[in-house]
Amino acid sequence: MKLRRHIAERGIEGLLLLAALVSVFTTLAIVAILVWESVVFFRSVALLDFLTDTQWTPLFDDAHFGIVALLSGTLTTTTVALLVAIPLGTVLAIYLSEFAPFRVREVAKPFLEMLGGVPTIVYGYFALLFVTPLLQRIHPDLPGFNMLSAGLVMGVMIVPYVSSLSEDAMRAVPMNMREASYAMGATRLQTAVLVVTPAAFSGLASSYILGIARAVGETMVVAIAAGMQPSFTFNPAEPAATITAYIVQVALGDLPHGSIGYQTIFAAGLTLLLITLLFNIAGHVLRRRFREAY
């Protein structure tokens, strides 16, 4: 009886461990699949061409495989998004953490959470059919697909994410630091900008970096509003495909399993994974540092 209970307990523990290991298997499988298909890809395309060619036309007769043409799109849309998300997210975080009355915060936080919960495809629809026409009214030459509108909407989409992580960091700053600052005769804004923000700096930085990672990996907004035509340009007023948009474009077509076109999306995916992984690790290292500080 005692032995049976012991065996059952052990068995349950084993099952729970297996459940926890599924996440490790997922990571291993992601890396394995991406590397496996990319290795096949790099057998027919030189790594040097992949990194230096400025054209990405894998499905043309004159095939070029320059990832730079996709990276430029990713970089441009991400930059536009950050120019919106970082200032807006930071102001919101400072306001909600240091200025807002309790009532405002109680309403604003779930509202921002909701804004973050809207499906990205809906933001894509908004970018293409509302923001782009609006921008065209100001600047009539703007093409129907452009990185500007995609980037702006993506920025708004990331704001709740940046603001909630930043706010967490600022709230983790101990109260006695603020009190000391007030005792010196500082005002709220002086305390917020000169005391709380520097103290929460690594937390703020991590929220920006995690925001970058999200912008880089975002797919539907750019695929819908920025167009799917790869082009090496940093001009936000032009259409261009990002890495993610290219993967969508290929997946929409009917590429045979095992063809070079099929392998390109895995090589592009591996590049994307490496970039986001880099930002995510940097973000988490910074985050851990601010947590340990107090």
Partner 1 sequence: MSTLFLPAADLSPPGTGQRDMRRLIARHRIWDRLFGLLGVLALLFALLVFALLFGQMLVNGLPQLSWDFLTSFPSRRAASAGILSAWVGTVLVMLVTALVAVPLGVGAGIYLEEYAPKNLLTDIIEINVTNLAGVPSIIYGLLALGLFVYQFGLGHSIAAAGLTLALLILPVVIVATREAIRTIPQQIREGAYACGASKWQVVAHHVVPYSLPGIMTGVIIGLARAIGETAPIITIGALTFIAFLPPSPFGQPGQLLSFEWLAAPFTVMPIQMFNWISRPEAAFQANAAAAGLVLVAMTLSMNAIAIWIRYYFRQKIKW
Q: Which of residues 26-45 bind partner 1 (CB under 8 A)?
A: 26-27, 29-30, 33-34, 36-37
Binding track over 169-208 against partner 1, x by CB under 8 A: ---------------xxxxxxx-x-x--------------
Alpha carbon 8 to chain centroid, angstroms: 43
Site for partner 1 (CB under 8 A): which residue of 46, 49, 130, 143?
A: 130
Q: Are 268 and 67 in contact (CB under 8 A)?
A: yes
Alpha carbon 134 to chain centroid, angstroms: 25
What is each CA distance from 192 to 55, 197, 269, in whole angstroms? Answer: 47, 6, 41
The C-alpha atoms of residue 190 and residue 199 are separated, in whole angstroms, by: 13
Site for partner 1 (CB under 8 A): which residue of 129, 180, 234, 259?
A: 129
The nearer residue to partner 1, 184 or 235, going by C-beta atoms, is 184
The nearer residue to partner 1, 52 or 143, going by C-beta atoms, is 143
Closest CA to 50 of 268, 276, 239, 272: 268
Question: Is 118 a binder of partner 1 (CB under 8 A)?
Answer: yes
Q: Are 245 and 226 in contact (CB under 8 A)?
A: yes
Closest CA to 245 of 260, 259, 261, 230: 230
Residues from 80 through 99 that contact partner 1 (CB under 8 A): 88, 91-92, 94-96, 99
Site for partner 1 (CB under 8 A): which residue of 16, 39, 51, 180?
A: 16
Stretch of residues binding partner 1 (CB under 8 A), selected from 43-51, 53-61, 64-72, 278-286:
278-286
The nearer residue to partner 1, 29 or 180, going by C-beta atoms, is 29
Question: Is 290 a binder of partner 1 (CB under 8 A)?
Answer: no
Site for partner 1 (CB under 8 A): which residue of 119, 137, 141, 292?
A: 119
Site for partner 1 (CB under 8 A): which residue of 161, 208, 266, 290?
A: 266
The C-alpha atoms of residue 105 and residue 44 are separated, in whole angstroms, by: 56
Closest CA to 168 of 87, 101, 109, 85: 109
Site for partner 1 (CB under 8 A): which residue of 1, 3, 4, 20?
A: 20
Site for partner 1 (CB under 8 A): which residue of 83, 108, 260, 293?
A: 108
Residue 100: CA count within 13 A, CB half-sphere: 17
The nearer residue to partner 1, 133 or 174, going by C-beta atoms, is 133
The C-alpha atoms of residue 282 and residue 294 are separated, in whole angstroms, by: 20
Question: Is 150 a binder of partner 1 (CB under 8 A)?
Answer: no
Question: Is 285 a binder of partner 1 (CB under 8 A)?
Answer: no
Residues from 198 through 257 that contact partner 1 (CB under 8 A): 210, 213, 216-220, 223-224, 244, 247-248, 251-252, 257
Per-residue HEC secondary structure of 32-64 comes to HHHHHHHHHHHHHCCHHHHHHCCCECCCCCCCC
Q: Are 236 and 76 in contact (CB under 8 A)?
A: yes
Number of chain positions touching partner 1 (CB under 8 A) = 91
Residue 170, Ramachandran bin (φ over 0: left; ψ between -120 and 50: alpha; else beta): alpha
The nearer residue to partner 1, 194 or 235, going by C-beta atoms, is 194
Site for partner 1 (CB under 8 A): which residue of 45, 150, 156, 240?
A: 156
The nearer residue to partner 1, 52 or 187, going by C-beta atoms, is 187
